[in-house]
């Protein structure tokens, strides 16, 4: 696209411990024309997700690491402004993995492939409750944990993008839900607005003690977003045949040394329980099914979401650090386009 400049964040170095922002380099480059089978997206929003911390390392993972000098991998959504691809036309709204940049030339493939969105779609929702984080909650809870009416479900990271949706889906399915979150404001939000039955403030309360109080009959399902000591505390309270969905371990991602496994893992043997990890990309063939059901819940007022949005692509590194400091409620996004 003649004359257009693409502002973007490149990965400059591998992180050591907590992110500082110095791991990224601000870069400008001409916007490329799409080649055969490609299309050009003007990005409106980019996402900040815990998994991005893992993509920055060179440790073995489910996807190759972001290479030094590459655009930082990230979810995003925007509008097609040029196309040589038969499946995408100028004006189409799309979401996928364009990375931290203003313009992305793509063939549609990626960690989360580009998908065409219905006209008028809320792009923020396409990245949050109806995007990767909401879909993670949906499949992790319903396919991995399989909660039954009347069971007790505990969700960590309960005020985050995924945890807040997982807890609400558990309520929709007739469960009693206890959320673990950081700070009184987040705890009030998940109880008063999202309908959780109880909240535990891990910053000011003993999680072990409060789990005994809020889950007197034990825990049937645990949706784990944080790992670490909270996972240990939950394992001590699981019931026979409990199910644990391992979604993430944000409490360990910035550790500078290998993190030991859960000390209470033998409870899985004693209670004949199951702990299983999963990737939302495994369910790509069923995304439309999940989006349709969650859209119905939203329309019925049974599923609520909240976004934390920072303005300007230059804020992306600060936003990602904020994610690990607990500075967001709900989905954390960066608005790339200037305000209308």
DSSP class of residue 31 equals P
List, for residues 85-143, the tens digit of each pLDDT value: 999 999 999 999 999 999 999 999 887 789 999 999 999 999 999 999 999 999 999 99
Phi, psi of 39 (to 5 degrees): -145, 160
Domain ranges of the chain: 5-128+306-335, 132-281
* Shared fold status for 5-128+306-335 and 132-281: no
pTM: 0.92
Which of 37-46, 59-68, 185-194 shows the lowest mean pLDDT across its residues?
59-68
Measured CA to CA, the distance from residue 246 to residue 156 in angstroms comes to 11
Task: Give the C-alpha distances (Å, rounded to integers) separating 277 from 22, 111, 266.
Answer: 31, 17, 17
- pLDDT the model gives residue 258: 64
Residue 220: pLDDT band by 50, 70, 90 thresholds? very high
Measured CA to CA, the distance from residue 229 to residue 235 in angstroms comes to 10
Matching CATH number, 132-281, of 3.30.1360.200, 1.10.1530.10, 3.20.20.70, 3.40.50.720: 3.40.50.720
Three-state DSSP at 24 gives strand
The tokens of 290 are what? Answer: 């999940």
- pLDDT the model gives residue 255: 58
Max Cα distance, the chain (Å):
66
List, for residues 150-175, the tens digit of each pLDDT value: 999 999 999 999 999 999 999 999 99
Domain 5-128+306-335, CATH class in plain words: alpha beta
């Amino acid at each position: 696209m003649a004359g257009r400049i693409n502002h973007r964040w490149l990965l400059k170095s591998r992180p050591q411990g907590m992110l500082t922002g110095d791991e990224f380099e601000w870069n400008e480059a001409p916007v490329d024309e799409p080649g055969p089978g490609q299309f050009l997206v003007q990005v409106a929003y980019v996402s900040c997700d815990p998994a991005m911390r893992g993509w920055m390392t060179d440790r073995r993972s489910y996807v190759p690491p972001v290479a030094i000098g590459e655009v930082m991998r990230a979810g995003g959504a925007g509008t097609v402004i040029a196309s040589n691809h038969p499946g995408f036309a100028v004006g189409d709204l799309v979401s996928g993995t364009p990375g931290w940049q203003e313009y992305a030339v793509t063939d549609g493939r990626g960690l989360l492939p580009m998908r065409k969105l219905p006209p008028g779609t809320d792009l923020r929702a396409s990245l949050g409750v109806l995007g990767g984080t909401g879909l993670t909650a949906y499949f992790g809870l319903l396919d991995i944990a399989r909660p039954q009416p009347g069971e007790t479900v505990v969700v960590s990271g309960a005020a985050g993008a995924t945890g807040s949706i997982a807890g609400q889906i558990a309520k929709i399915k007739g469960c009693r839900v206890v959320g673990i979150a950081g700070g009184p404001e987040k705890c009030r939000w998940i109880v008063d607005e999202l309908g959780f039955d109880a909240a535990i403030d891990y910053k000011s309360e003993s999680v072990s003690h409060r789990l005994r109080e809020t889950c007197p009959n034990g825990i049937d399902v645990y949706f784990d977003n944080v790992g670490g000591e909270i996972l240990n505390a939950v394992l001590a309270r699981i019931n026979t045949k409990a199910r644990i969905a391992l979604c993430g371990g944000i409490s360990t991602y910035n550790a500078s040394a290998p993190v030991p496994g859960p000390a209470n893992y033998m409870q899985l043997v004693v209670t004949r329980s199951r702990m299983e990890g999963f990737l939302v990309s495994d369910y790509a063939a069923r995304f439309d099914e999940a989006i349709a059901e969650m859209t119905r819940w939203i329309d019925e007022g049974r599923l609520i979401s909240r976004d934390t949005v920072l303005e300007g692509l230059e804020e992306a590194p600060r936003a990602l650090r904020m994610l690990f400091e607990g500075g967001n409620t709900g989905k954390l996004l960066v608005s790339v386009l200037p305000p209308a």
